[in-house]
């Protein structure tokens, strides 16, 4: 699914005085010398993409790579070793002589990633585009990679049950829907369902590196992609040249616990949005105080339970669309305008357009199934519903914006047919996987609603060679190369020269001021800029793309 991204903007001072280059990492013993150019990649048959369009005329190429579905050490049956997966790849070659290759993952899990070769190339400044090949991929089970996960496209047919159950009978009905979806995944997805863990994809990453003919590779991972990069660095520490981890998943919290924390972060981000709408009451007329706007939103939710808009948008569909406000401040004007148009004037068109742009439909099934296939097997989940119920009531009381919604989104994991394994925990303890100890750059915005900023501090402690850059007051889930000059200069210096902010005793190693909050717009003044979803927990919702300023 396509997206468009914001421009580089604003001025800024060069941060070289704040940075200290880390010690050079030696090429592993016995490995060939790192090539000075990356354009001779004959192991993959690159050709024009048949099913993928460039975003803005860049030279976009595609290829496929066949990898084992099951690694030899994980095979329960010798016949498992005959099964393979075809990974769909994309590449935008460097505009000059390619000195490096960067692999990009946009998050999810469940997100196809191939369009991100274009996105990342276009968001890079010219000095990086000249020397970097950008390679992206659809992870196993997703997008154009085969076999692909499919479960039940009809699951998202509106109007869906309200995620907030009014009584025990409604809760049981929602639970039955979640169990039925899990069963559909087991029946329709095939054997790959047991081989979708993050560790499996990390091994695929290294197979891509080998096919590219690279001794070491650069990696840029957003959201869930930060966890994938953390696992890859642990498994293949000598194969990493640079590691950029943005809007990170907390390495100390397996998915069940992580999602409970996420609901609270989403609620805080929604509060920021309601306060912003109140500051622009002259435009939106939903209340001059954040509490008034909050009340207007929840009144709308109650109204939609009684009478859905156009038999299409009930309370669950509303949540699925407005959740974007927790991922990017740049969506706030569109969401506020749509809410105001319906609440104040009964105009349903902007709200329906919002649902079409951001909400779930039958096309969401592959992404949702892929998300569950990873999350439900990446870590162990409670099997007794009493635990889910108690936690749901607690998180809803604290964070009603998405408390129950997030519970039901993950509820198929309670009866998931695939095999779960322990969380891949990096660290120094005997029961943990060795943490990557090379240099790494961690980036996070303080008001990110999808991944709480506390996770970035936890990851910094786990990765001893890392430096943490915080965007103070930042609203965006996904910060690197998205327009904050202070942050972008750090990223460019690290990728080009290996320079990182000097690591201190604790906390952030560099703090950048956030970009300005968005300006209000009305539904009448808003030009349509639909943004497609790139995946669940990573719900990447970028703003409109413009060419970088040279």
* Residues involved in catalysis: 223, 448, 477
The total number of residues written for the chain in this structure:
550
Match 């009684």 to its residue by tokens.
306
- Measuring CA to CA, which residue among 55, 379, 434 is closest to residue 224? 379
Q: Are 369 and 402 in contact (CB under 8 A)?
A: no
Residue 50 token pair: 């048949």
Nearest to 318 by CA among 332, 331, 303: 303
For 431-479, the three-class secondary structure string (H helix, E strand, C coil) is CCEECCCCCEEEEEECCCCCCCCHHHHHHHHHCCCEEEEEEECCCCCCC
Question: Helix or strand or coil: residue 208?
Answer: helix
Q: For residue 526, what are its two tokens?
A: 């808003």
Nearest to 536 by CA among 378, 396, 406, 356: 406
Helix (H, G, I), strand (E, B) or coil at 89: strand
3-state per-residue secondary structure call for 171-194 = HHHHHHHHHHHHHHHHHHCCHHHH
285: left (phi over 0), alpha (psi -120 to 50) or beta: left
Among all chains, which residue has been given the structure tokens 């990086």? 128
Q: Within 13 Å of residue 337, how many CA atoms lie on the same side as its CB?
A: 21
């Amino acid at each position: 699914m396509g997206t468009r991204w914001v421009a580089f903007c604003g001025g800024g001072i060069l941060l070289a005085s704040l940075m200290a280059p880390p010690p050079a990492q030696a090429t592993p013993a016995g490995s060939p010398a790192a090539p000075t150019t990356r354009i001779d990649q004959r192991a993959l048959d690159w050709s024009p993409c048949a099913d993928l369009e460039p975003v803005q005329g860049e030279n976009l190429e595609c290829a496929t790579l066949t990898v084992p579905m099951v690694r030899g050490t994980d095979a329960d049956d010798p016949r498992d070793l005959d099964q393979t997966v075809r990974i769909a790849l994309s590449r935008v070659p460097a505009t000059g002589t390619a000195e490096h290759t960067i692999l990009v993952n946009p998050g999810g899990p469940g997100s196809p990633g191939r369009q991100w070769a274009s996105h990342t190339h276009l968001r890079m400044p010219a000095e990086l585009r000249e020397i970097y090949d950008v390679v992206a991929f659809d992870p196993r089970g997703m997008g154009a990679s085969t076999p692909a996960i499919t479960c039940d496209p009809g699951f998202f047919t509106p109007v869906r049950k309200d995620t907030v159950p009014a009584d025990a009978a409604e809760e049981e009905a929602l639970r039955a829907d979640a169990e039925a979806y899990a069963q559909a995944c087991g029946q329709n997805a095939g054997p790959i369902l047991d081989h979708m863990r993050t560790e499996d994809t990390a091994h695929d990453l290294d197979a891509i590196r080998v096919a590219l003919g690279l001794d070491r590779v650069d990696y840029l991972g957003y959201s869930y992609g930060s966890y994938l990069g953390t696992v890859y660095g642990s498994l293949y520490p000598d194969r990493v040249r640079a590691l950029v981890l943005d809007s990170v998943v907390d390495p100390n919290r397996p998915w069940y616990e992580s999602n409970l924390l996420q609901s609270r972060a989403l609620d805080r981000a929604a509060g920021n949005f309601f306060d912003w709408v109140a500051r622009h009451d002259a435009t939106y007329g939903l209340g001059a105080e954040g509490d008034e706007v909050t009340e207007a939103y929840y009144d709308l939710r109650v109204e939609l339970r009684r009478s859905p808009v156009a038999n299409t948008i009930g309370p669950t569909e509303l949540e699925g669309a407005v959740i974007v406000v927790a991922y990017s401040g740049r969506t706030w004007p569109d969401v506020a305008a749509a809410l105001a148009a319906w609440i104040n004037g009964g105009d349903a068109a902007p709200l329906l357009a919002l649902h079409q742009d951001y909400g779930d439909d039958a096309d969401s099934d592959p992404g949702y199934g892929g998300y569950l296939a990873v999350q439900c097997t990446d870590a162990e989940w409670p099997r007794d519903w009493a635990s889910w119920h108690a936690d749901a009531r607690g998180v809803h009381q604290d964070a009603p914006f998405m408390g129950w919604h997030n519970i039901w989104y993950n509820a198929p994991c309670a009866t998931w047919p695939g095999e779960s394994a322990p969380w891949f925990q990096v660290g120094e303890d005997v029961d943990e996987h060795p943490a990557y100890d090379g240099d790494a750059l961690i980036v996070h915005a303080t008001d990110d609603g999808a991944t709480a900023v506390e996770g970035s501090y936890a990851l910094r402690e786990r990765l001893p060679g890392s430096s943490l850059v915080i965007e103070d007051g930042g609203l965006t889930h996904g910060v690197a190369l998205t327009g904050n000059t202070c942050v972008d200069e750090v990223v460019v210096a690290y990728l080009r020269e290996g320079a990182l902010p000097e690591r201190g005793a604790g906390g952030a190693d560099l703090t950048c001021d956030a970009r300005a909050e968005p300006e209000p717009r009305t539904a009448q003044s808003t030009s349509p800029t639909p943004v497609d979803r790139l995946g669940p927990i990573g719900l990447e919702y970028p703003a409109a793309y413009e060419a970088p300023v040279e």
